[in-house]
Amino acid sequence: MGRIHESVGTMRRTRDDILGDAATLLTGNQSESVDPRVRADIATSWRRCHLIGVKATSDDVPYEGEFDRPSRLLRAAAPVIDRLADQLTDSPATIMLADAEAQIVDRRAGGRELVRALDKAYVAPGFRYAEEFTGTNGIGSALEERRPFFVQGAEHFRENLLEFACVGAPVMHPISGTVEGVLDVTCRFDETNVLMKPLVLSAVREIESRMYADASLKERMLLEHFLRVSRKVRSAVVSLNQDFIISNTAAAKLLDPSDQALLWDWATRMLARRDECTGEVRLAQDIVVQAKASKVGEGSSPAGVLVEMRTRNASSITPRRHPSHSTPTAGRTAPPAEERLPGRSAASTRLRREIDSIVESGPPTLICGEPGSGKLFVARHLHKRWAPDEPCTVLDGTVARLEPEAWLDRFVSRIATPGTLVLRHLDDLPDQLCAHVLAHLEAATRRARLIATAPERRGHGPAARLLDHLPATLLVPPLRYRVEDIADIAPAILKQHSPRSPVPRLQPATLQTFTGLDWPGNIRELEAVLTSALIRSMGADITQSHLPPEYRSSPTRHRLASLERAERDTILQALADASGNKLAAAERLGIARSTLYRKMRVLGIDDNRFSS
């Protein structure tokens, strides 16, 4: 213990010097501030802990007495840990296994004094040692870095861990490459042994080997099919299922992490009733590929799919162009790629096409949609398409209830000048103001371009009469009807809120989780979740562990969920093309009107939004 107390004061001062002020931390200009007495990986971990708000003097550790034990990890690790436990009985070291969320699921061996000290510091099964909760340590830091991590004594961020030394190494799934957990060996700082790291690495290799042998037939089938095909062709090849993806070098250069969920969704939809298909796929980064997909395995539950991809031009990657942007209308040019509305679903495609039509004619427009669906974003986008050099003023009907006279004065003043006027939350406009607004709407349409937002076109009372002066309607679909758009919407949100470069991305498993949620708060809810995750990720790509706890898992989707979403989009498209007339829409789809009504109910399409 003497060595510990001698170094604690020095390390505290060194840590404070390295952390510096918040401005330096946020800009990421930290390379010159590393003290030569502290290893770079420890200094980096300290910064992460400081920014996330971990308190060095706290000893709080999240705990769950009842938790799901990772069966695949435990099956592979148990025999290895059993053997190590026999070898380490009454030794000055203990071995621990944690899951992918940094929760300790097993602890073995170690002398009585060491066990008592670990218990006192809450280093025991059920406690969670992610960096965001417990600072720099062998388990959480190994997960953050995805590599072996050694922490000793005062290198721990939390002062209640200063008497320990630990080495942790992540256990990676040998087929999917995902992190399954962490194996850690811990001892007292005074009893640190140079053989700790080799012992951990050897044990991890054995666990991973056992995990491969234990891998399901489906997983091995996917790997073997991928190797067989990728050796024969030069094109981009991926083998995937809902949980993981294997890719060759050409595919790795072509794909964005968000494309895993997209490819799986496309392939399962196309292969629903056949074993092989070809088609065009729009990936992230504005890339269009010709893809050939085939089932791997037989029966009603195949192992997954294999996809071969070629760009349109073999010598270059072809930017994606949406049909609605191919030809400028009325002398207006199409918006640059970075200014286009994000989204790859049929619903977003339809919305972009409708916006193009409104840009050409320029009528007063009502934008409808559920709260948080992005109505104001679409309004600002429409203004940029109309007149990007002119002012855009947003007047909120909710604010008008608090300051009616000031709101009306600003409204009257604004409609007398060119530009775009957005009447947000038109349905919340107080009745006493509606008559004044109605009297000025005709003048408004002659001078300023007019946009309003409301949940729906239907309404009651004086505010409803205002809707008659907004002949054009844009319907922004809720996020649950276009979850495939999250792959495009999330990067835009992360870019807006991240001060770092490169901007963190969603890990495929995180995106898969997002597409399984209903998002009752729509894009506003998604933005809140991503903003919270950015803080936890400390600039790293966002994994499920960075999400708020209630968002870390999603209800298991029905196997045909992607088909149902495609069917829903097709029905919505037919209803939009038929201006809401269900008989005409049914004829376009080639089904009876009664069948259309039934499918609308099953797929959650709001019947009240469309006329009979």
The parts of the chain modelled with pLDDT lower than 70 are 1-37, 285-286, 299-301, 312-339, 442-447, 459-460, 554-566, 569, 604, 606-612
Q: Coil, helix or strand for 62?
A: coil
Predicted confidence (pLDDT) per residue in 143-185, tens digit: 999 999 999 988 999 988 999 999 999 999 887 778 899 999 9
Q: Quick one: how far is CA 147 from the chain centroid? A: 23
DSSP state of 209: H
> Which residues in 91-101 are b (16+ Cβ under 10 Å) and which e?
bbbbbbbbbbb
Question: Exposed, middle or buried, 531 (CB in 10 Å: 0-12/13-18/19+)?
Answer: middle
- Say how far apart CA 283 and CA 564 lie, in whole Å: 21
Phi-psi region of 379 (alpha: psi -120 to 50; beta: other; left: phi over 0): alpha
In the prediction, which pLDDT does 340 show?
Answer: 76
Question: Are residues 117 and 205 located together in one domain of the fold?
Answer: yes
Using CA atoms in the order 48, 102, 504, 175, what is the torsion angle rounded to 10 degrees?
140
Q: Domain boundary at 277, 311, 345, which?
A: 311
* Residue 481 lies inside a defined structural domain of this protein: no
Q: Which residues are CB-contacts of 32 (< 8 A; sequence separation ≥ 6)? A: none
- Say how far apart CA 304 and CA 246 lie, in whole Å: 11
Q: Coil, helix or strand for 371?
A: coil
At residue 95, φ and ψ (nearest 5 deg) are -115, 135
- Say how far apart CA 133 and CA 57 lie, in whole Å: 12
At residue 386, φ and ψ (nearest 5 deg) are -75, -60
Question: Are residues 182 and 306 located together in one domain of the fold?
Answer: no
Question: Are residues 468 and 337 located together in one domain of the fold?
Answer: yes
* Residue 417 lies inside a defined structural domain of this protein: yes
* Residue 482 lies inside a defined structural domain of this protein: no
The residue type found at 141 is: S
Question: Are residues 230 and 375 located together in one domain of the fold?
Answer: no
Question: Are residues 511 and 583 located together in one domain of the fold?
Answer: yes
CATH code: domain of residue 246: 3.30.450.20
CATH code: domain of residue 403: 3.40.50.300
Q: Domain boundary at 311, 342, 357, which?
A: 311
Strands 392-396 and 245-247: unpaired
DSSP state of 111: -
Question: Are residues 373 and 272 located together in one domain of the fold?
Answer: no
Q: Domain boundary at 167, 197, 214, which?
A: 214
Question: Are residues 466 and 536 located together in one domain of the fold?
Answer: no
Q: Coil, helix or strand for 298?
A: coil
Give CB contacts under 8 A, 24+ apart, made by 377-380: 377/523, 378/341, 378/351, 378/474, 378/476, 379/422, 379/424, 379/451, 379/453, 380/422
369, 384, 575: which is closest to 452 by C-alpha? 369
Q: Which residues are CB-contacts of 282 (< 8 A; sequence separation ≥ 6)? A: 288, 320, 344
In the prediction, which pLDDT does 326 show?
Answer: 37
- Say how far apart CA 573 and CA 350 lie, in whole Å: 7
- Say how far apart CA 516 and CA 523 lie, in whole Å: 15
* Residue 78 lies inside a defined structural domain of this protein: yes
Question: Are residues 517 and 534 located together in one domain of the fold?
Answer: yes
Q: What's the domain count of the chain?
A: 4
Question: Are residues 161 and 277 located together in one domain of the fold?
Answer: no
Question: Are residues 612 and 534 located together in one domain of the fold?
Answer: yes
- Say how far apart CA 593 and CA 585 lie, in whole Å: 8
* Residue 158 lies inside a defined structural domain of this protein: yes
DSSP state of 374: S
Question: Exposed, middle or buried, 232 (CB in 10 Å: 0-12/13-18/19+)?
Answer: exposed
Sheet holding 365-368, edge to edge: 392-396, 420-424, 449-454, 365-368, 472-475
373, 432, 370: which is closest to 401 by C-alpha? 432
* Residue 483 lies inside a defined structural domain of this protein: no
Residue with tokens 């509606």: 434
CATH code: domain of residue 43: 3.30.450.40
pTM of the model: 0.56
* Residue 420 lies inside a defined structural domain of this protein: yes
Domain that holds residue 498: 489-612
Sheet holding 304-311, edge to edge: 245-247, 236-240, 304-311, 287-296, 276-283
Question: Are residues 447 and 459 located together in one domain of the fold?
Answer: yes
In the prediction, which pLDDT does 208 show?
Answer: 93
Both tokens assigned to 115 = 């066990």
Question: Are residues 279 and 228 located together in one domain of the fold?
Answer: yes
Does residue 284 contact residue 488 with C-beta atoms inside 8 Å? yes
* Residue 319 lies inside a defined structural domain of this protein: no
